[in-house]
Amino acid sequence: MTGLRHGLAHVTPNVPVELISWHGDAQEAVMQATASWLEQRLPCVVTRQSGVPANQVQLGVSVIVAMPKSAQIQRAAFRVPTPCIEAVEPLPPLSQFTSLLGNAMSSISFGDSCGVYGSFLFQYVSGYTYTHAQSDVDVLLAYRDDSMLNLRQAMHALQQATSRMIDGEVRFDSCGDIAFAELFNEGFSEVLVKTKTEPYLLSREALYARFPSLQKA
């Protein structure tokens, strides 16, 4: 019910919140902004669940916090009781981001298997301004027996279409998520695999044995 890492969780109204992490000395302001986010019934992101009690789920949001000199975007992590999770859905696909990233998103061949997270996700779900001209696009690409060459070409095509830096991860079923930077750097003998619980190191040899299509020409 609590979904995978990066899933979008919808929680019940008036949910009790235990704030876990925030930046600097802005705890009260972050708590107020997080409460406002939840009051608007906006979705939150399922984060890594390491060390989280079985009766709780850890979620994350980026909220806009009013500070003395200017508004700031702050990341907050918090926990809610598991029964307060109404539903968890996948990240919205790239093909739905035409209004933020241009009409080319509707014709990207892998647009429906590529979810968007990060600042563009929060702007998409809330309507508030989280991005600027230099903002990266963070994507989670579902692995579909692609070769390493095809994956590189797909990310290059997306970068060309958006005129933005592309960051993110590839999700390998029953394995976990691997960052593009690690996956594409074949000088790394091991890659860090991120899961819903704990990250772990996997040898490149074991990765290729499990997903042989990566080595196709």
pLDDT value at 97 more than 70: yes
Phi and psi at 38, nearest 5°, equal -70, -35
| Confidence tier at 66 by pLDDT (50, 70, 90) | confident
Q: Are residues 74 and 168 in the same domain?
A: no
Domain boundary (89, 112, 128) is at 89
Total tally of structural domains belonging to the chain: 2
Task: Return the amino acid letter for 130.
Answer: Y
Interval 6-23 mean pLDDT: 93
Measured in whole angstroms, the distance separating CA 13 from the mean position of its chain's CA atoms is 23
Q: Taking every pair of C-alpha atoms in the chain, what is the biggest distance, in angstroms?
A: 56
Domain boundary (56, 89, 122) is at 89
In a domain, 60, yes or no: yes
Q: Are residues 209 and 120 in the same domain?
A: yes
Q: 57-66, 103-112, 201-210 — which is least confidently predicted?
A: 103-112
Q: Give the residue numbers spanning the domain of 142.
A: 94-215
Structure tokens at 121: 């996700």
Q: Are residues 122 and 72 in the same domain?
A: no
Which residues, other chains included, contact 59 with Cβ-Cβ below 8 Å and sequence gap of 6+? 9, 11, 44, 45, 46, 47, 77, 78, 79, 80
pTM of the model: 0.93
Domain boundary (89, 122, 148) is at 89
Q: Are residues 99 and 32 in the same domain?
A: no
Mean pLDDT value across the chain: 93
Q: Please state, for a pLDDT cut of 70, what percent of the chain lies above it.
A: 97
pLDDT at residue number 210:
97
Q: Considering Cα of 200, then 206, then 210, then 216, what sign does the dihedral take?
A: positive
Q: Strand 18-21 relative to strand 8-11: parallel, antiparallel, unpaired?
A: unpaired
Give, rounded to a whole angstrom, the gap between the first and last alpha carbons of the chain: 39
